[in-house]
Chains A and B, each alone.
Chain A
Amino acid sequence: MNEKKQASIGQIWNWKITFACALFLVLVSILAISFGPIHLGFIDIVKTLIGMDGLHGQDRTVLLDLRLPRMLLAALVGCALATSGAVYQTVFRNPLADPYLLGAASGAGLGATIAITNSGGDIYGLLPIFSFLGATLAVLTSFFISGKFFAEPNTLLLSGIAVGSFATAVQTYLQQRHSNALRPVYNWILGELTVANWSIVSWSSIYILSSIAVLISISKKLDGLLLSDEESFSLGIDPNRLRLIAVAAATLATATAVSASGLIGFVGIVVPHLVRGVTHRVTNRSLATIALAGAAFLVLADLGARSVLSPAELPIGVITAFVGAPFFLFVLRSRRVTHS
């Protein structure tokens, strides 16, 4: 009798889904590094990666210096944006929250524009650092202005919007003054992974993976933030402390992702809702799965960006919105049907 009862409540999160997502990410990654103007064989790729006699010459360079860092960067950025989006949605109890909510996007945009429009472009190489600083400063300013911190999440959201608008205004002013910078700034805003190299992959992986590790370690507790502060306190959570850790880690991941690849929209909203919609679960135990799904989504989107107009490339942001938006609407609709 007891066994029968247990089966009917079951596990709150089915880890098989996480495992399936990890498997899907591996498949998509292999697909992404083998496809392109030069086709690389699967066996050769594996042999090269494990240090056996595989690819040589140009093929080897294409694999190790172009596709592999690019695929890894796509995975890192996708993972960072999806996880941060999911965390922001929980922290602000707002399904429309995305990682750029507190001004991270506009701050990064302003930082990047300053780097691009700088006379002579001699600080162009510092673009990631400038956009990282811009994003972090914007979020800190939002916090500072809101004053009440988390006591009023809506005040924080509004100050994020104000800081974002201000940064965008300054950015537009700079663009108008330096019209030659319009195109590179525009390209950057649409997001690009073409710049990927091992240096970017290595420094961004440090920040992104450590932020994700922190977020996954607190993921189970994040469910408490779906309740009122009094309720979560009675269940053993200090809600403000938890929010602070969550937003700090999510902002670090987002700022890193933005500085490595520009503004790639939609991932932070689509992927979390997709995972929750398909599994019918809102628990943050799904965070690791959302991270893996985000990585797979962006690797796949990048493959699309490289393939659709091959050998030319589409900005990856176009693909994420073009594929993401209809799919997202489909999930929303089917969820509404099952709810009613």
Chain B
Amino acid sequence: MIKVSDLTVKLGGQTILNDIELEIPHGHWTCLVGPNGAGKTTFLKALLGVREYSGSLQDNGVEVFRNHKRNVAFVPQHPEIPRGMTVAEYVALGRSKIEGWGNESAESRSFIEEVLIQTQLYGMHQRHVSQLSGGEMQRALIARALAQEPQLILLDEPTSALDLHHQISVLNNIEILKSRGVTVISTMHDITLAAMYAERIVVMHDGKVLLDGAASDVIHSTELRTAFDNRISVYTLDSGRPVIVAAKDEFEN
């Protein structure tokens, strides 16, 4: 269990995260939702250890999130794309944490190949990452995270700007990670997709947690509507699956 208590992050005099209290179970997929500026990405960065924070972020009672040895994979929304680096090299960077930089063993290389096949990047592995489309690049990022064999993976908007086909393919790859016992924490704008894949949903608004609970409960909650200023409508399909769409403003009706 990752226990977050009194987590506060201030940046340039502005409070980005305010007294967050949260418990995140291991081996599950927890998704942070909320409008832009709610503090979702900052929360991920505090978990990664790159943001100064006050309060505590503990894993099984130990303060861990400034510990370099911890194997946490991070999939950013806007990655820096190294010019001239091939997909195979890019994915191989994921092995650095486990094997040390530049020390890929023969087993590692065959593991990287498996990952490339799994993420449907095999065949384009000699291409430069700068030549990949948005969906392919996202798969390359996931492939690098798979190669990292992390205990915890943090994903910042893994499906934004992807077409439906690529969204499903990326989310399925994340599910593979989860099936291996990896704890998944992501942010996601598409709440319908979040409800489909994540077990737990955390609703954030203005640097605070409004609600945290099982996906099915959160979706129908008033807190979710509050976070989005009542501008969302929730429908339930015949299959029982919830669908969240933006509601039109009153005056437009």
Enumerate chain A interface residues (CB-CB to B < 8 A).
2, 5-6, 8-10, 12-13, 93, 95, 219-221, 223-224, 226-231, 233-238, 276, 280-283, 285, 339
B27 near A: Cβ within 8 Å? no
Q: Which of B104-162 contact A (CB under 8 A)?
A: 104, 106, 109-110, 112-113, 116, 125, 128, 131, 148, 154
The reply to whether B50 and A220 form a contact with Cβ atoms under 8 Å apart is no
Query: Given that A5-B110, A6-B109, A220-B102 are contacting pairs, would A227 and B73 also be in contact in the complex, using a CB cutoff of 8 Å?
Result: no
Q: Which of B71-110 contact A (CB under 8 A)?
A: 72-74, 76, 78-80, 82-85, 88-89, 92-94, 96-97, 100-104, 106, 109-110
The reply to whether A224 and B80 form a contact with Cβ atoms under 8 Å apart is no
B48 near A: Cβ within 8 Å? yes
Enumerate chain B interface residues (CB-CB to A < 8 A).
45, 48-50, 68-69, 72-74, 76, 78-80, 82-85, 88-89, 92-94, 96-97, 100-104, 106, 109-110, 112-113, 116, 125, 128, 131, 148, 154
Q: Which residue of B lies closest to A90 (CB)?
A: B82
Residues of B within 8 A of A229 (CB): 50
Q: How far, in Å, is A272 (CB) from chain B's closest CB? A: 12
Q: Which residue of B lies closest to A234 (CB)?
A: B74
| Bound: A219/B100 CA distance, A | 12
Residues of A within 8 A of B83 (CB): 95, 282
Main SS class of interface, B: mixed
| Bound: A227/B154 CA distance, A | 16
| Bound: A233/B125 CA distance, A | 24
Residues of A within 8 A of B45 (CB): 230
| Bound: A234/B79 CA distance, A | 13
Q: Which residue of B lies closest to A1 (CB)?
A: B110
The reply to whether A233 and B49 form a contact with Cβ atoms under 8 Å apart is yes
| Bound: A248/B97 CA distance, A | 25
The reply to whether B79 and A221 form a contact with Cβ atoms under 8 Å apart is no
The reply to whether A282 and B96 form a contact with Cβ atoms under 8 Å apart is no
What are 23 of the A-B contact pairs (CB < 8 Å)?
Answer: A6-B110, A9-B88, A9-B125, A10-B109, A12-B88, A220-B102, A220-B103, A224-B101, A227-B80, A227-B93, A228-B80, A230-B50, A231-B74, A233-B68, A233-B74, A234-B48, A234-B148, A235-B94, A235-B148, A236-B97, A281-B84, A282-B82, A282-B85
Q: Which of A6, A223, A234, A237 contacts B102 (CB 8 A)?
A: A223
Residues of A within 8 A of B102 (CB): 12-13, 219-221, 223, 283, 285
Which among A95, A238, A283 has the greatest number of chain B C-beta atoms within 10 A?
A283
Residues of A within 8 A of B89 (CB): 12, 281, 283
Residues of A within 8 A of B78 (CB): 228
Which among A235, A280, A281 has the greatest number of chain B C-beta atoms within 10 A?
A235
The reply to whether A12 and B92 form a contact with Cβ atoms under 8 Å apart is yes
| Bound: A177/B110 CA distance, A | 68
Q: Which residue of A lies closest to B82 (CB)?
A: A226
Q: Which residue of A lies closest to B116 (CB)?
A: A9
| Bound: A143/B116 CA distance, A | 42
Q: How far, in Å, is A286 (CB) from chain B's closest CB? A: 11
Residues of B within 8 A of A6 (CB): 106, 109-110, 113
Residues of A within 8 A of B88 (CB): 9, 12
Q: How far, in Å, is A132 (CB) from chain B's closest CB? A: 32
Q: How far, in Å, is A182 (CB) from chain B's closest CB? A: 42
Q: Which of A226, A234, A283 contacts B73 (CB 8 A)?
A: A234
Residues of B within 8 A of A276 (CB): 84
Residues of B within 8 A of A9 (CB): 88, 109, 112-113, 116, 125
The reply to whether B113 and A227 form a contact with Cβ atoms under 8 Å apart is no
The reply to whether B76 and A230 form a contact with Cβ atoms under 8 Å apart is yes
Residues of A within 8 A of B50 (CB): 229-230, 233
Q: How far, in Å, is A5 (CB) from chain B's closest CB? A: 5
Residues of A within 8 A of B68 (CB): 233, 236, 238
Residues of B within 8 A of A238 (CB): 68
Query: Given that A6-B113, A9-B88, A234-B74 are contacting pairs, would A226 and B80 also be in contact in the complex, using a CB cutoff of 8 Å?
Result: yes
Q: How far, in Å, is A267 (CB) from chain B's closest CB? A: 21
Residues of A within 8 A of B110 (CB): 2, 5-6
| Bound: A18/B72 CA distance, A | 34
Q: How far, in Å, is A144 (CB) from chain B's closest CB? A: 22
Query: Given that A223-B101, A227-B79, A231-B74 are contacting pairs, would A8 and B48 also be in contact in the complex, using a CB cutoff of 8 Å?
Result: no
Q: Which residue of B lies closest to A5 (CB)?
A: B113
Residues of B within 8 A of A2 (CB): 110
